[in-house]
Structure 1
């Protein structure tokens, strides 16, 4: 059966028109609309000559983990504005800068009563803590990370890192996130509002940021472990090579 020409023409034209519209949309798409950032490249400095590849990796991981904590303190203050209002800071930005300055200078945080490392983290996440919990939690987390890295944030050839301490720091971050999500104060409320899953909203940005920190710590721990394992293997290979891989005379 032959279709009338008045019906055949639209069938031939419509797919072509749809394809033309699709190609037109693709060709005019603004590249900026799908831009999702780019890799950071730090300027080359003379101090890097005293760094091995692992030293550099540890330095960048520490930088990024501290940056994650600085992003988290901003997010936590936005969700828990009553915390920074417990302080003498005039606004949220000033409160953030005060904590950041204390971390950078390794100045003890007054509300943590002289405690450092995991003792400070435990106090910051205790239901009885009455001070600025956001500041105490972020400061204690940063202090724990720095202690796990032998008290340093930049690493050189003379520095040594303990893979088990880095691994333990990753587990400490996981524990802190779990406590933050499950512990309640005396009134039965969460210690701090963070991730939210409801019928109206699904906000897991806190979990993702903490997850990045755990991933960096675990990777560094594995690299450090592999570094020493490969050193042993290379030593054995060199011993074997000295005995069995010698060139033999051919005349």
Structure 2
């Protein structure tokens, strides 16, 4: 038998194995994707409430943004308490209890005693002073929440009779940017960071605090821009009605 005839079956077998490798790799990849452990969640709307009947689209968006911002601040508080356990011990017997106390004070608009009656940006300034000796996590989160609520006219829910000043909402976003920068750069009287927030170690990088603050600032900017655009479009719509009115009348047909 000639040499090339003897080698032909071996060539076909080798080619078959080579062709099968990409198929096996593709199947393995698909199997890995189908069993990925990470769940990204899904968008879910809230159940209908009677109060929505007196809300416009912009009212509803502002209400949802406020809810998400306050929830983000609670998550920030929990993160800061985990990294600074000495702070929650100044407020409660447990981290969970301290979070609950601060949340109630925010939602019920109760003053936080350690802030000495100061509100919004004045409270932020006090909470970020190097010589502040109280629960700095509670004071910072409470003051940040109070700044946001004050900028929204001291409301957390909005209806058709409520209006927003977009400039004040925009200013609140800038104030939180400044507060975030101070928190990450200023030192206490002992030369230590005011609070441990982000982690930038060589082995581990944890920027969850920064991301959550970025979400809050982004939502505030969106509400400010949307409110400004809504007022602007209202004026334009009114002008269009005046100009187009004479040309939009029905013509006689008989």
Cα 1:32/1:154, change in 2 over 3 Å: farther
Question: What pairs with 1:88-99 in structure 2 (closer than 5 Å)?
Answer: 89-99=92-102
Which runs of structure 2 are paired with 1:1-251 in the superposition (5 Å)?
4-23=8-27, 25-26=29-30, 29-30=33-34, 33-87=37-91, 89-249=92-252
Aligned partners of 2:128 and 2:10: how far apart in 1?
A: 76
| Unaligned residue ranges in structure 2 (runs of 5+) | none
Structure 1 residue 240 displacement after superposition: 0.7
Q: For 1:115-134, what per-residue CA distance to the aligned partner results, in whole angstroms no more than 9, with x for missing partners?
A: 01110011001111110000
Equivalent-residue separation in structure 2 for 1:248 and 1:65 (angstroms): 53
Q: What secondary structure sits across from 1:33 in the alignment? A: coil
CA shift, 1:39, in A, is: 1.2
The TM-score normalised by the length of structure 2 is: 0.92
Following superposition, the deviation at residue 13 of structure 1 comes to 1.8
List runs of 5+ in structure 1 lacking aligned partners. none
Distance in 1 between residues matched to 2:87 and 2:9, nearest whole Å: 75
How large is the Cα RMSD of the aligned pairs?
1.9
Deviation readout 1:224-245 (Å, 9 max, x if unpaired) = 0001100110111000112233
Structure 1 distance, partners of 2:197, 2:32, is 40
> 2:37 is paired with a residue of what secondary structure?
helix
Residues of 2 paired with 1:32 and 1:94: CA distance? Answer: 35
- Measured after TM superposition, the shift of residue 173 of structure 1 is 1.0
Q: Distance in 2 between matches of 1:69 and 1:244?
A: 53
Q: 1: CA distance between counterparts of 2:35 and 2:112?
A: 46
Query: Offset at 1:21?
Result: 4.6
| CA drift at 1:31 | 5.8
How many Å apart are 1:185 and its aligned residue? Answer: 0.8
